[in-house]
Structure 1
Amino acid sequence: MNTMTVVFMVAEKPSLAETISKVLSKNTRVSRKGFNGACSVHEWSGEFCREHVRFRMTSVCGHVMTLDFQSRYNNWDTVDPMELFVANLEKKEANPKLKMVDFLRYEAKNANVLVLWLDCDKEGENICFEVIDSVISVMSKPTTILRAHFSAVTDSELHTAMKSLREPNKNEARSVDARQELDLRIGCAFTRFQTKYFQVSYLYYFIIQ
């Protein structure tokens, strides 16, 4: 017995998921609250690539992951600021309270197609791959991954975007990863160096008074 294809779609924020699902379903979607309490899930049946499918749409709340140093580099007293330029980094959930990774995996389980409706800029492209990395292991194989491009949240723009889906751009996502790494390493190293410098300077000042 063949099961209906499930198309899992993810927007950048809950309000956008609500609008897109309303337009694409012609206001027939059924909505429920996701278990993380922050995102709703909208479902309806329709046509996709000449096939009758089940759509399931939800959202993230901005970035799913954030870049940070491993915990052993958190001690300002024992870690030389220069070490931060070569220190190991790791991806962590941007907001652990939202349990976004678990939520996405739960809703994406056994879906056949992933359609990403993130903002159409490099930051949005980066979030696309955060979503992909979160759900790819629980989706049915082979998995189709597509990206919607739209410049306005209007009926015509959304329908056009749905008809012209493309693959997400890995290079644009990587450029954001590179910028985030530079911001983190330079920002933290400079802040720690400056803090230590002024601590020593003020200590010396009070000693000689």
Structure 2
Amino acid sequence: MRYEESDFQVKNLNGYPKKSFFYYVSKRIFDVLGSLIGLTFSAIPIAIFAMIIKKDRGTVFFAQIRIGKLGKPFIMYKLRSMVPNADQKKNELIDKNEKHGGIFKIKKDPRVTKIGHFLREHSLDELPQFWNVLKGDMSLVGPRPPLHSEVEKYNDYQIQRLLVKPGMSGLWQISGRSNLDFEDMIDLDLKYIDERSTIKDIKICLKTIRLVFNHGKNTGAY
């Protein structure tokens, strides 16, 4: 199914400080260089995980339509961490959802494969998103890109998280991730939009790397 930007009424910046042309240029340069480095260093791990995933039933990559800046849809890529028919099984697990506000999360999701648990714990399933960053669909830092079904439930306050390009990491991810409530995620995303800068992006990236190499402990990833 194809979605158009007009599907969502994303409002103006509502008081958020405007950024300079230099900020957007430096952010894009940072994204391109970071994604190239990320793709280079993740090529071998992705190849290894791809062989394991392929052996453990199904396709290696999972492609899904997500909603980006100003409601523009794009295809986001991940290493597959769930069983092939995960979407169909989701309806059977709705009553077990541990979150609200349009987010579906189960700490011990039965759809997640054995290798998938490891990938999610260390956020390694998201390595292919360096390609999304290089293409310009995403940034290294920004709010996580939501599903169409999630955005449909947003109110005027929540939909402001679509004012900027979505990211691989952000304040939400380094502050507890899935351990936080939906409202906390929204507040952290809008806080980032309000305070975003090149220096803050660098700090968030460095903290993200530290968390990944901290064996996934206390990251809230699942």
Q: Which has the higher strand share?
A: 1
Q: Which has the higher contact order (CA 8 A, sep 6+)?
A: 2
Say yes or no: TM over 0.5.
no
